[in-house]
Chains A and B, each alone.
Chain A
Amino acid sequence: MSTMFADTVLIVFISVCTALLAEGITWVLVYRTEKYKRLKAEVEKQSKKLEKKKETITESAGRQQKKKIERQEEKLKNNNRDLSMVRMKSMFAIGFCFTALMGMFNSIFDGRVVAKLPFIPLSYIQGLSHRNLLGEDYTDCSFIFLYILCTMSIRQISVASSSGGALGLRNPYTRSAEEMTLVPTSSRGVRMGLMKWFNKRMKAPLPQNKYILMAQTDSLPPSTAGSFITSDLCPILCKGTRHTN
């Protein structure tokens, strides 16, 4: 096995390990705590109740009913906020660990071509794919690009598997809770965006079809890539210089 292919396999393995590490840290600091379990159950129960209520409510529903729904939405909002506070600890721990790990891996793989790309990336992606590599052959792949791709696929798949398929990520009420708990810092941007949208939307009556409602949010995966790059890797990407001859 050549060195390059060995590096490729190693990076995939590192990506799997870091995804598991992130989940592990989150489990230790968040998932197994009583407070988190209680809050999560509460959020799921309330969101199911709220959805059922919204499905049965009619245009001519009384003010009493609408007020009741608004109160339930407020309660749900507060529980979601509490859930995000519980996750704060794990976010800091993961951020710290990953900054250290990325620094270490960057220095190990610095200047090494870890794979060959079967395509030439777009010019603005070459900054990532050809990072710290010598020469002008843009089919040379650097550690960071392959790591990002692996993490984008592996983390999402591990989230989808652990939540019983992608279940839970589509319900607009539990989605923000699930995202905060099952998807580590890589989707922080989506999570914050979703929370803002969620808080804004709770003032307005919800459409009957929850899928129309979900269509109004950003989809998880594209934003995940962007927020992963900015939130997880920004400290690393800002460091390091391109080697020139």
Chain B
Amino acid sequence: MSGARRKEESPPSHPQQHLVANGGGALRVSVWGKALRSDSAWEDKDEFLDVIYWFRQIIAVILGVIWGVVPLKGFVGIAIFCLINAGVLYLYFSSFQQIDEEEYGGTWELTKEGFMTSFALFLVVWIIFYTAIHYD
């Protein structure tokens, strides 16, 4: 995974120096660097919830493209999307990051973080690709 590559690229310590050098850009890199490293420490809970939110949107776009291209039709497509979306993120925060769900209000809070937005985005991307490829 690119997390390993990120470890090689960025210095092992002195994140403050990175901040001074690059300002906000380096701060964003370190958040995503943490997101791609397993068992990272998340002092700021909102930061981790943001990562969950954006990962959901990325999954929605990817699945929308795949579902539209294949094509996968019907409510089966929606059901599989929900399962994959919830399942992948669950594995991410419970196994990969190994966070304590209670600190974030429980598994349900983490599961619903950004879910509806990602669902709407998935539908939009799915519809666009399906219309473009199969009804053009």
Do chains A and B interact in one complex?
A: yes
Partner-B contacts on A (CB < 8 A): 1-2, 4-5, 8-9, 12, 115-120, 141, 146, 149-150, 152-153, 156-157, 160, 164-167, 170-171, 209, 211-212, 214-215, 219, 221-222, 224-225
Partner-A contacts on B (CB < 8 A): 45-47, 49-50, 53-54, 57, 67-68, 71-75, 77-78, 103-106, 108-109, 112-118, 120-121, 123-124, 126-128, 130-132, 134-136
The prevalent SS among residues of A at the interface is helix
Contact among A116, A211, A225 with B135 in the assembled complex (CB-CB below 8 Å): A116
Is the Cβ of A166 less than 8 Å from the Cβ of B114? yes
Smallest Cβ distance from A130 to chain B, in angstroms?
Answer: 14
Contact among B45, B53, B117 with A211 in the assembled complex (CB-CB below 8 Å): B45
Smallest Cβ distance from A148 to chain B, in angstroms?
Answer: 8
Is the Cβ of A157 less than 8 Å from the Cβ of B57? yes
**10 pairs of A and B residues whose beta carbons are closest in the complex:** A221-B116, A165-B50, A211-B105, A152-B120, A153-B121, A153-B120, A156-B117, A118-B130, A215-B105, A115-B131
Contact among A8, A119, A149 with B131 in the assembled complex (CB-CB below 8 Å): A8
Q: In the complex the two chains form, what is the Cα distance from A50 to B117 in whole Å?
A: 30
Is the Cβ of A221 less than 8 Å from the Cβ of B114? yes
- A167 and B50 in contact, given A118-B74, A153-B121, A221-B117 (Cβ under 8 angstroms): yes
Contact among B77, B124, B136 with A5 in the assembled complex (CB-CB below 8 Å): B136
Contact among A116, A119, A156, A166 with B74 in the assembled complex (CB-CB below 8 Å): A119
Among residues of B, the one whose C-beta sits closest to the C-beta of A220 is B116
Contact among B74, B114, B131 with A120 in the assembled complex (CB-CB below 8 Å): B74
Is the Cβ of B127 less than 8 Å from the Cβ of A8? yes
Smallest Cβ distance from A177 to chain B, in angstroms?
Answer: 16
Smallest Cβ distance from A153 to chain B, in angstroms?
Answer: 4
Is the Cβ of B116 less than 8 Å from the Cβ of A222? yes
Smallest Cβ distance from A171 to chain B, in angstroms?
Answer: 8
Taking CB atoms, residues of chain B closer than 8 Å to A117 are 127, 130
